[in-house]
A and B are shown apart, each in its own frame.
Chain A
Amino acid sequence: MSTSIQARSNILSRLRSAQTSPLTVADDIGSAQLPERSRAEKVSRLVELMRAVKTEVHLATDEQWPQLLTDTLTAKGITSLLVSSRKETGKRLTEIEDELELIDVPDNPLSLKDDLFSSIPASLTTCRCGIAETGTLVLWPDHDEPRAMSLVPPVHCVLLKEQDIANTLADIIRVEEWAGQMPTNALLISGPSKTADIARILAYGAHGPRELVVMLVQEQEGQ
């Protein structure tokens, strides 16, 4: 490790010997101005961009989504779903007839590894919010919804509320004051895993989920 310490001091001293005049944010020019959007515009842009990269988006009311999701997965031949019983997603799904076998996230998420790689066909997670500008879901994985849950199963489903769609990533970082509270892992997900590394031909399901299913819950009058 002493080499690293020596390297550190050599690198920093070489950098410090350069003539620089430190710039501040006030010196920045240019802008990344983007249009403001109404709630309806945000929803329609998000849905359009998500569908453009093969994300399956289902619009539903808060009442409808558990059954709609169950039907969607059943139609795909999926009979079990990884979902946390401690989140709204798991609680709501247990209320309806158990057509799907619900697999709960164990207290030690690491113990899920082998099942995730061998047998779990699908997962359902919540998300923190959506981003209209880029058609993106924002996830902050935690103890109840670990990182691998949105990555390893071939089908990843996400519950997104219409009122949680922000306009841009810049807005979210600023409004939610991310800089003061970054989690272990913050994720932006904008579609199923994909690659164009073979002859520029787009193929889905590279290393992550082959399918991304979004249950977009619309806000109802009077709520």
Chain B
Amino acid sequence: MADTIPIKELSFDERVERDLNNPLLRTNFREAMDFLMDKRSGQFPDYDQLQELRDLGASIRRRALSKLPDLLEALEEKLRANGIRVHWAETPEQANQIVLDIARHHNARTMIKGKSMVSEETELNEFLEHAGITAVEADMGEYILQLAHEKPSHIVMPAIHKTKEDIARLFAEEVPDCDYTEDVDELIQAARKELRKRFHDADIGLTGVNFMVAETGTLVLVENEGNGRMATTVPKVHIAMTGIEKVIERLDDLPPLLTLLTNSATGQPITTYVNMISSPRKEGEDGPEEVHLVLLDNGRTIPYADEEMRQTLQCIRCAACMNHCPVYTRLGGHAYGTTYPGPIGSILSPHLLGLEDTKDLPSASSLCGACGEVCPVRIPIPDLLRRLRHEGVRKLHKGEAPVIRGHGAKYTHTEKVSWLSWSKLYSSPALYRTFALSATLLRGLSPSKMKGWTDYRTAPKPARQSLHTLIKQHRKEEGKV
């Protein structure tokens, strides 16, 4: 039912054009990002303390990734011992099928969902819909988008592109017994009332996971609304779905990461709820009688193989990089055309989808460096963007193992030849002198239209005299004095 925004429907340039020309969208994002940046900086008043904390956060994530296969096995063993069932999926299709099999096993008709970006990645709702199972989003932002048949434009605040008025109109049309109101409290109460019925009746609750603790076999969910708690408490089956990289080694590793996550994401010292789940309900307790964990690869093992690219997997999904990105702030999330937008999306999506479909993303950055400076786990996002640009125009050598799907997706013969000629010209003094002389003499002949460049700028024209000539003249004149 939900209309997707397929990555190929419009080209990247067309999406950028569309969204840059939407003044309301640009105002929304500008204001929202300013708000989130202020909230974050208010929580980190001491610069040195923040740097120390970021060092620790980066260390914890690097340590976990340095032994990822071992930790995943340890986690699985702990979870099994605790009574949680673990499933592995290499592809989105496999992950969705696992969820469907569990649902069928329980004759489930309805599913209530907490926020899960991984289920966005696998397009689970659409898949279940085809199989006759209704999955209702319960995070307020996701609920709004499901009603509007739209995709998230931000990973923490999914409906941030929608105005109060948009939502008021939407609710008046779609939410039972909800009259048009722009009062946010009333809107939230209308959604609460509707979704409480769904929580009560749902056969299965499905959520994402923020951290998985290998030491204890614990799934940690961080949220403000309580939808995550509802989805993991009320239905008799809970399915958690997440990427293989979310594991941390010890319970002691959790507090610093929680601090970094909530402060970086929304400028809160902690969220309303931190929900740590270590087993299905035991005798005499409430909660789900079955808990399942679906671990998804979907291309994550590709950057893992490369020491530099592996750092992409350190991400704790706080969205600080997009909040601080001048490009994201002007475009919003939809222009990127991928589940994860902004700087983190531009370094992650090429691995999940391959560079053929995402070749423009690493270039959708001014390399200003803000993302790298705010990242709470010190992912060198600008370096990774440049690395992906390089891989995008590079053909593999014979026998060289690929580090990403779609090497050379942006390769063009013209560009290659241009750079080769440039390099020849600038490394041979005789050639260079000839070139400089002819460029200045024949400057009148330089083209007035240059593809890409002259769309927005005037064409460059060589100067009358080269710098070398000018310096020579200058020295001559000085010598005279």
Residues of chain B within 8 A (CB-CB) of A142 are 285
User: Least Cβ distance of B120 to chain A in Å?
Assistant: 15
User: Least Cβ distance of B370 to chain A in Å?
Assistant: 21
Partner of B87, one of A4, A136, A173: A4
- Excluding A32-B53, A151-B229, A190-B271, 6 further A-B contacts by CB distance (< 8 Å) are A27-B59, A113-B234, A179-B215, A186-B218, A195-B140, A206-B227
Partner of B230, one of A5, A7, A208: A208
Q: Mark B110-130, 1 if CB is under 8 A from A, else 0.
A: 000000000000000000000
Q: Are A182 and B218 in contact (CB under 8 A)?
A: yes
Q: Are A200 and B254 in contact (CB under 8 A)?
A: no
CA distance A146 to B234 in the complex (A): 11
Residues of chain B within 8 A (CB-CB) of A19 are 307
- By beta carbon, the residue of chain B nearest A107 is B284
Q: Are B272 and A117 in contact (CB under 8 A)?
A: no
User: Least Cβ distance of A207 to chain B in Å?
Assistant: 4
Q: Are A109 and B286 in contact (CB under 8 A)?
A: yes
Q: Mark B132-147, 1 if CB is under 8 A from A, else 0.
A: 0000001111001000
B189 within 8 A of A: yes
CA distance A185 to B288 in the complex (A): 11
Centre residue among A112, A188, A209 by max chain B CB count within 10 A: A188
Partner of B184, one of A7, A169, A199: A199
CA distance A170 to B270 in the complex (A): 13
B317 within 8 A of A: no
Q: B67-75, B342-350, B385-393: which one contacts chain A? A: B67-75
Query: Which residues of chain B in 230-264 are interfacial with respect to chain A, using CB atoms and an 8 Å cutoff?
Result: 230, 233-234, 244, 250-252, 254-256, 258-259
Given A11-B244, A32-B256, the answer on whether A190 and B187 have CB atoms closer than 8 Å is no
Residues of chain B within 8 A (CB-CB) of A184 are 277-282, 285, 287
Q: Are A14 and B304 in contact (CB under 8 A)?
A: yes
Query: Which residues of chain B in 167-216 are interfacial with respect to chain A, using CB atoms and an 8 Å cutoff?
Result: 167, 184-185, 187-189, 192, 195-196, 199-200, 215-216
User: Least Cβ distance of B406 to chain A in Å?
Assistant: 18
User: Least Cβ distance of B60 to chain A in Å?
Assistant: 7
Q: Mark A93-134, 1 if CB is under 8 A from B, else 0.
A: 000000000000001111011000100000000000000011
CA distance A164 to B185 in the complex (A): 35
A75 within 8 A of B: no
B contacts, CB < 8 Å to A: 32, 35, 49, 51-60, 62-63, 65-70, 72-73, 87-90, 94, 97-98, 138-141, 144, 157-160, 162-164, 167, 184-185, 187-189, 192, 195-196, 199-200, 215-218, 224-227, 229-230, 233-234, 244, 250-252, 254-256, 258-259, 266, 269-282, 284-287, 295, 297, 301, 304-307, 310
Q: Are B140 and A134 in contact (CB under 8 A)?
A: no
User: Least Cβ distance of A84 to chain B in Å?
Assistant: 13
Q: Are A191 and B272 in contact (CB under 8 A)?
A: yes
CA distance A39 to B69 in the complex (A): 44
Residues of chain A within 8 A (CB-CB) of B56 are 28-32
CA distance A196 to B251 in the complex (A): 29
Q: Are B59 and A208 in contact (CB under 8 A)?
A: no
- By beta carbon, the residue of chain B nearest A117 is B200
Partner of A29, one of B59, B274, B276, B304: B59
Given A146-B286, A199-B163, the answer on whether A205 and B189 have CB atoms closer than 8 Å is yes
Centre residue among A23, A113, A199 by max chain B CB count within 10 A: A199
Q: Interface SS of chain A: helix, strand, loop or mixed?
A: loop
A22 within 8 A of B: yes
- By beta carbon, the residue of chain A nearest B236 is A110
- By beta carbon, the residue of chain B nearest A188 is B274
Q: Are A28 and B60 in contact (CB under 8 A)?
A: yes
A187 within 8 A of B: yes
CA distance A179 to B249 in the complex (A): 11
CA distance A193 to B191 in the complex (A): 14
- Enumerate the 10 nearest inter-chain pairs by beta-carbon distance, A residue then B residue, closest first: A30-B55, A208-B226, A30-B56, A207-B226, A206-B225, A197-B141, A146-B286, A197-B140, A188-B274, A8-B88
Residues of chain A within 8 A (CB-CB) of B49 are 33
Residues of chain A within 8 A (CB-CB) of B215 are 179
User: Least Cβ distance of A157 to chain B in Å?
Assistant: 16
- By beta carbon, the residue of chain A nearest B281 is A184
Q: Are A4 and B98 in contact (CB under 8 A)?
A: yes
Residues of chain A within 8 A (CB-CB) of B66 are 20-23
Centre residue among A146, A174, A185, A190 by max chain B CB count within 10 A: A185
- By beta carbon, the residue of chain B nearest A149 is B286
User: Least Cβ distance of A178 to chain B in Å?
Assistant: 6
CA distance A86 to B2 in the complex (A): 48
Q: Are B90 and A205 in contact (CB under 8 A)?
A: no
User: Least Cβ distance of A142 to chain B in Å?
Assistant: 7
Identify 23 residue pairs between A and B in the complex whose beta-carbon atoms are under 8 Å apart, listed by A's number: A3-B94, A4-B87, A4-B88, A5-B88, A7-B297, A19-B307, A27-B63, A30-B51, A30-B53, A110-B286, A141-B285, A147-B233, A148-B233, A151-B230, A174-B252, A184-B280, A185-B276, A187-B229, A188-B274, A193-B224, A197-B158, A203-B187, A206-B227
Q: Mark A8-24, 1 if CB is under 8 A from B, else 0.
A: 10111011111111111
